[in-house]
């Protein structure tokens, strides 16, 4: 692991944009990632930071959310760590299908599905002491597209 960019943001909503900015700037230094991949990564980072901030709020944790970002030969990796209460990522609530009128009862819970759809690899390690979300965006085989 070399050339790691580390950032700790206060666990407040106004700092999520800063996290996106730093990660997208870091991603832009990697010419093998496409603009679409950078856009997708920004959304995934935003979702993970939003969840992290809410997790801190849930336990009143007075510490920052830690981000690390680094490149390797396969692609770009981002880690988002919180000190929240943790959750079981295998039992996320399921939404009714879009055509079901009850779908409108669910305004939340789209963050983790979006992360999973947008990045190439997601690992979520969660315990009672916090959660680490690790995202990876692999280099497109044909370079920038």
Partner 1 sequence: MDLGLDVAERNKFAVLSVRGEVDVYTAPKFRERLIELVGQGKHHIVVDLEGVEFLDSTGLGVLVGGLKRLRSHNGDLVLVCTQSRILKVFEITGLTKVFSIYDTVEAATDPNSQN
The binding site for partner 1 (CB under 8 A) comprises 13-14, 16-17, 20, 36, 39-40, 42-43, 46-47, 50, 53, 95, 97-99, 103-108, 110-111, 113-114, 117-118
Nearer to partner 1, 43 or 122 (CB): 43
Nearer to partner 1, 40 or 82 (CB): 40
Nearer to partner 1, 74 or 103 (CB): 103
What's the min distance (Å) between Cβ of 1 and partner 1?
Answer: 28
Angle at which helix 35-59 crosses helix 111-118, to 10 degrees, equals 150
- H or E element that contains 116: helix 111-118
CA distance 66 to 123: 16
Neighbours of 69 (CB within 10 A): 23
Q: Answer positive or negative: Cα dihedral of 60, 119, 89, 112.
A: positive
Neighbours of 127 (CB within 10 A): 10
Neighbouring residues of 28: CB distance < 8 A, sequence distance ≥ 6:
38
What's the min distance (Å) between Cβ of 15 and partner 1?
Answer: 8
What's the min distance (Å) between Cβ of 13 and partner 1?
Answer: 4
What's the min distance (Å) between Cβ of 69 and partner 1?
Answer: 18
Nearer to partner 1, 14 or 88 (CB): 14
């Amino acid at each position: 692991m070399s050339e790691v960019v580390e950032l700790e943001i206060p666990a407040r909503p106004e700092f999520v944009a800063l996290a996106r900015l730093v990660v997208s700037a870091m991603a832009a230094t990697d010419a093998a990632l496409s603009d679409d991949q950078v856009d997708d990564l920004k959304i995934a980072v935003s979702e993970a930071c939003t969840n992290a901030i809410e997790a801190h709020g849930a336990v009143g944790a007075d510490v920052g959310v830690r981000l690390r970002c680094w490149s390797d030969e396969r692609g770009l990796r981002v880690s988002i760590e919180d000190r929240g209460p943790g959750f079981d990522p295998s039992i996320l609530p399921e939404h009714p299908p879009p055509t079901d009128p009850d779908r409108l009862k669910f305004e939340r819970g789209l963050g983790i599905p979006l992360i999973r759809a947008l990045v190439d690899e997601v690992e979520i390690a969660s315990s009672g002491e916090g959660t680490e979300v690790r995202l990876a965006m692999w280099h497109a085989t044909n370079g920038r597209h």
